[in-house]
Amino acid sequence: MNILSGCTRIRFNSILNHASFAKIFNYRYEFDAKKRNLLSVYDHKILSILELPIDNEWWFWIDDDAFFTDFNKSFDSLDLEFGSNIMIFPKSPINPSGGWTFLTSGSFFFKNNLEVKSFFQKVLARNIGEVKNWWDFNKYGIFTNGDQDRIVFELVKDEDLMSKILLVDYEIFNTRPYHFKEINDHFLVHFAGNDKVKAIQKFKLDFGFNDTSLVPKRYDEIANKIKESFKKKI
């Protein structure tokens, strides 16, 4: 298993969170902050996936505003049915305002093979205006005006591909800060929405983390070594 994340720039301490989690469970981790000429910032994620050399291995995409929270659990502990599936997406929770989406592309598993590459080529080429005109709120929830909507469009339009996609409950790996009472209640936290810096800081204080990487204190030594390695690269 491998982990991929990225953004047009490093915005949060999630890079240290992801790297520490990967180190503990011996996963490969890549963070893509490559400078690109983009029509949309959402294309950065799609290009990060497309530019991975095909290796037919499973990868976990995690947005830079999402953090692992339960460092006792590996991906294996999620007990997912990879089998003949080529992508696994979480469903969306219903937020406190009643909003929801068909799926979430903030964290998902994908098989890094030719079929998945072909799918994301279609996503990249799809005009967001066409998707917006097609969108049915009652079927697909909130229109986010990003990669997620184009992913939904391409999946729904292709029944054969949709049969190879697994949609799982949001509680498995798509929870929000308001779902937590204890830090190990869920596998990860996704700070979707606005004012992410404030929300991350509040989460840090609520659960007693040393910093906004949200790495458990018992892994300080690992996190500090990774932090030093990042400084050397910079």
Which of 55, 71, 88, 54 minimizes the C-alpha distance to 18?
71
pLDDT digits over 64-116, tens only?
999 999 999 999 999 999 999 999 999 999 999 999 999 999 999 999 999 99
N-terminal to C-terminal alpha carbon distance within the chain = 26
Percent of the chain with pLDDT over 90: 93
Q: What is the mean pLDDT of residues 114-121?
A: 98
One-letter identity of residue 124: L
Mean pLDDT of the chain: 95
Region 203-228: what's the mean pLDDT? 95
Residue 229 pLDDT grade (very low, low, confident, very high; cuts 50, 70, 90):
confident
Work out how many domains the chain is built from and give that number.
1
Q: What is the pLDDT of residue 17?
A: 98
Residue 155: closest CA among 95, 100, 86, 92:
86
- Please check the confidence at residue 234 and state whether its pLDDT lies above 50: no
Q: What is the pLDDT of residue 220?
A: 94
Q: State mean pLDDT over 146-150.
A: 97
Looking at the DSSP bridge assignments, the partners of residue 111 are: 58
Contacts of 33 (CB under 8 A, 6+ apart): 6, 7, 8, 9, 10
Q: Is residue 5 over pLDDT 60? A: yes
Question: CATH number, domain at 163?
Answer: 3.90.550.10
C-beta of residue 155 within 8 angstroms of C-beta of residue 179: no
pLDDT at 193: 82
Domain residues for 128? 2-233
Residue with tokens 């979480």: 90
219 and 19 Cβ atoms separated by less than 8 Å: no
pLDDT of residue 233: 54
User: Between vectors from CA 54 to CA 161 and to CA 46, what angle results, nearest 5°?
Assistant: 60
Say how far apart CA 126 and CA 145 lie, in whole Å.
12
